[in-house]
Amino acid sequence: MKIHHEGYATILIVALFTGIALFCLFFFIPRMHWIIKVLLLIVGLGFLTFVTRFFRVPYRVINKAETGVLSPADGTIVAIEEEIEKEYFKDQRIRISIFMSPNNVHVNSYPIDGKVVYVCYHPGKYLVAKLPKASIDNEHNTVVVRKNEHDEVLFKQIAGFIARRIVCYAREGTEVVQGEEMGMIKFGSRVDVFVPIDSKISVKIGDKVTSKKTVLSIF
């Protein structure tokens, strides 16, 4: 287990703010009841612990699946639907939506081996990530990885109501490895995965999935 480098600045700011706030409360309001001081201390340290834990990166052995699509995120399956993917493929695909709560690990990984052939950032709103229209209206980042001439996977990092920053390390033309880190979304969010229409889906709505481990579908 380690802390992601994207979280260093955020954790430092929260730690400084928490420390200054508690110092002011304890020393500039000396008559405050000690029980209230203890409760405030617990709340402050609890919030700092939550923020630090959010940026955790657990060690995992990648569940390599040669013909499978691994989950690029931790979370819960909230939708499995056939729809026309309008940005890149412009044809019928199966969309698998993964909702990531603030309690989930938020590091994202590549679902298959291959070459990154498309990366596009879209500014947008910050609606609740579970809403269907969040896939289009919210701030999101689209990445497509091509395994071969027949097998391509598109996935979107979608900002949520709390999230305000998407981090993506994918670059067009680079070769990537299934399970390799490709970025993260800060705080609550969602990831949509578009797989070929004839794929065999291996999960169902309500399933808890794990990045680098859970097979979402098989080509």
Residue 63 falls inside a structural domain: no
Please tell me whether residues 121 and 142 are part of one structural domain.
Answer: yes
Please tell me whether residues 204 and 175 are part of one structural domain.
Answer: yes
Range 3-29 average pLDDT: 83
Residue 214 falls inside a structural domain: yes
Q: Name the one residue in this structure whose structure tokens are 């990166």.
A: 57
What's the pTM? 0.84
What distance lies between CA 63 and its chain's CA centroid?
19
CA gap 150, 114 in Å, rounded = 12
CATH of the domain at 101: 2.70.70
Question: What's the pLDDT tens digit per position in 93-111?
Answer: 999 999 988 889 889 999 9
CA gap 193, 97 in Å, rounded = 6
Q: Band the pLDDT of 42: cuts 50, 70, 90.
A: confident
User: Which amino acid is located at 39 in the chain?
Assistant: L
Residue 23 falls inside a structural domain: yes
CA gap 175, 63 in Å, rounded = 19
Please tell me whether residues 27 and 127 are part of one structural domain.
Answer: no
Please tell me whether residues 122 and 186 are part of one structural domain.
Answer: yes
Please tell me whether residues 24 and 73 are part of one structural domain.
Answer: no
Q: Read off the tokens for 108.
A: 């994202």
Percent of the chain with pLDDT over 70: 89
Decide which of 9 and 97 is more confident: 97
Neighbours of 160 (CB within 10 A): 25
Range 109-116 average pLDDT: 97
Please tell me whether residues 34 and 107 are part of one structural domain.
Answer: no
Please tell me whether residues 141 and 167 are part of one structural domain.
Answer: yes
pLDDT on residue 129: 53
Range 44-72 average pLDDT: 89
Residue 185 falls inside a structural domain: yes
Q: Which residues pair with 81 in a beta bridge?
A: 95
Question: What's the pLDDT tens digit per position in 154-174?
Answer: 999 988 666 567 889 999 999
Residue 62 falls inside a structural domain: no
Is the pLDDT at 204 greater than 80? The verdict is yes
CA gap 131, 56 in Å, rounded = 27
Please tell me whether residues 45 and 78 are part of one structural domain.
Answer: no
Q: Which domain holds residue 15?
A: 2-57
Q: Name the one residue in this structure whose structure tokens are 């029980």.
A: 35
Please tell me whether residues 76 and 8 are part of one structural domain.
Answer: no
Catalytic residue among 71, 189, 199, 211: 189
Please tell me whether residues 81 and 34 are part of one structural domain.
Answer: no
Mark whether 199 is an active-site residue. no
Please tell me whether residues 81 and 165 are part of one structural domain.
Answer: yes
Nearest Cα neighbor of 194 from 77, 65, 92, 76 is 92
Any alpha helices (H) in the chain, and if so which ranges?
8-28, 34-54, 134-137
Residue 192 falls inside a structural domain: yes
Residue 187 falls inside a structural domain: yes
In the chain, the number of structural domains is 2
Please tell me whether residues 112 and 203 are part of one structural domain.
Answer: yes
